[in-house]
Amino acid sequence: MEEPVKDLNQLNVLLNNNPCVPNSNLLVNFKFINSRIKKCCNIIFIFSLHLCLFVMVVGAEVSKTTVVVNVGGEISLPCPESDQFNSSELSWSHPGKLNMTGSFVVKETGALVLMKTIPSDAGMYYCKAMDQTVAQVKLEVNNVPSRINRVLVSTNSVYSIVSWSEPKAGGYPILGYKCQYRMDTSHLLSPSTTSKEYSEKRLAADSRTCDIYNLVPNTTYFIQVAAYNKLGPGEFNSQMTTTKPLDELHKTLSSVQTSESGRVLAMSIAVSVIALATLGSGIALLLIRHRGQSPPVRPLQESPGEDESLELVPHITLNPSFNIDMLEHIAPDFNENSEHAFLVGSPTGRER
């Protein structure tokens, strides 16, 4: 029975002399094998640790928060999962903004602090741990109303009408509009301070026009309009306009008067025609109604002749006691045929 091999050199010799070994140059070194095993164990441990942390980060639910700040203010964006990581492993990102100057991360809480916020700071912020998002914070920055994009100015000789469209509110409701105007002083050699000051009109929130009167004809003016809310006025939209000369005003007024006189004449004729038609209709209606209520016309009777108009009464001489005054009370009888008659209408009562 062979003795066990105790020397590494002797083991190498036996392996090299053994025909069953495919590689005759194989060198077995147990120390080298032990060191490689240790390195492999360390790599496996570190990989397992990172894999465990990755599973924890991916499996955790991303928290979402919304914070609001006024423009120019200071705000802190929280990272709720910061207590599970070291501060060196946390970072913040804001898409579209590479340079985050004016901000810093609080080491104890991992919160991001923004100093003197501006409108471009608004948006979504991401708190990351080992390149994995653990929190989302939406930042809203309240601001003054935006600049009015469209302003139209219609100017005449002594007045001007300004109109505009509604701008964006900026986070707070629009409280009203400021309409300012002043005369151009660029042609003056030494303009005074008061000549450069704007006259202002404040209008309600639902206003879309501004009427400016008592302007000087043939003069250049600067006109500007802006909306305002609780944070103040927005950027003014300034326009320059020139009033028309007086002769154009006279032409305008004369044309207006001509058109107005033509309208008045046409209206007067129309009213007269309507009045005449109404009067004629009323008269015709009254005639028709009166004719319907009048009694029927009786046929005309032939007037008796001169001889037949005499009433015959008994001769007075036959009755001397007859009272001639009673003839006035006697009704004439046209059917009576008497041979003796006298004229009733005769003042003397003589016979015929």
- Cα separation, 225 vs 148, whole angstroms: 8
Residue 269: enclosing H or E segment and its boundaries?
helix 246-293
**Coil, strand, or helix at residue 194?**
helix
Whether residue 338 is predicted with pLDDT greater than 80 in this model: the reply is no
Q: Give the mean pLDDT of 290-302.
A: 60
- Of 132 and 56, which is predicted with more confidence? 132
pLDDT higher than threshold 80 for residue 40: no
pLDDT computed for residue 298 by the predictor:
56
Q: What are phi and psi of 120, to 5 degrees?
A: -70, -10
CA within 13 Å, CB half, 194:
0
Q: What is the pTM of this model?
A: 0.52
What is the mean pLDDT of the segment spanning 316-339? Answer: 53
Write out the two tokens for 328: 């006035």
Average of pLDDT values for 59-76?
A: 85
Number of Cβ within 10 Å of residue 79's Cβ equals 27
Q: What are phi and psi of 253, to 5 degrees?
A: -65, -40
- Over residues 120-147, the mean pLDDT reads 91
Residues 144, 175 contacting (CB under 8 angstroms): no
pLDDT, averaged across the chain: 75
In the prediction, which pLDDT does 284 show?
85
Residue with more model confidence, 286 or 222? 222
pLDDT at 90: 82
* Closest listed residue to residue 125, CA positions, set 135, 114, 137: 137
| Residue of 285 and 220 predicted with greater confidence | 220
C-alpha closest to that of 112 among 162, 74, 68: 74
- Residue 152 pLDDT more than 50? yes
Pairwise CA distance, residues 214 & 196, whole Å: 18
User: And the tokens for 293?
Assistant: 């209520």
Mean pLDDT of 93-104: 76
Provide φ and ψ at 109, rounded to 5°. Answer: -110, -15
> Is it the case that residue 25 has pLDDT exceeding 50?
no
CA distance to 15, 206, 215, per residue, from 226 (Å): 97, 13, 21
Interatomic CA distance for residues 126 and 122, integer angstroms = 13
Q: Which residue has the tokens 């303009």?
A: 191
Kindly state the tokens that stand for 302.
Answer: 């032939």
> Are the beta carbons of 174 and 206 closer than 8 angstroms?
no
- The number of residues making up the chain comes to 352
- CA atoms in the 13 A half-sphere facing the CB of 58: 6
CB burial string 107-138: b at 16+ within 10 A, e below: eebbbbebeebeeebbeebbbbbeebebbbbe
Encoding tokens for residue 259?
A: 């058109």
Q: Which pLDDT score, from 0 to 100, does residue 174 have? A: 96
Decide which of 144 and 100 is more confident: 144
Q: Kindly report the backbone phi and psi dihedral angles of residue 201, in degrees, each rounded to the nearest multiple of 5, phi listed first.
A: -125, 130
115, 167, 177, 165: which is closest to 143 by C-alpha?
Answer: 167
- The pLDDT confidence band at residue 254, using thresholds 50, 70 and 90, is low
Element (H, E) at 329: none
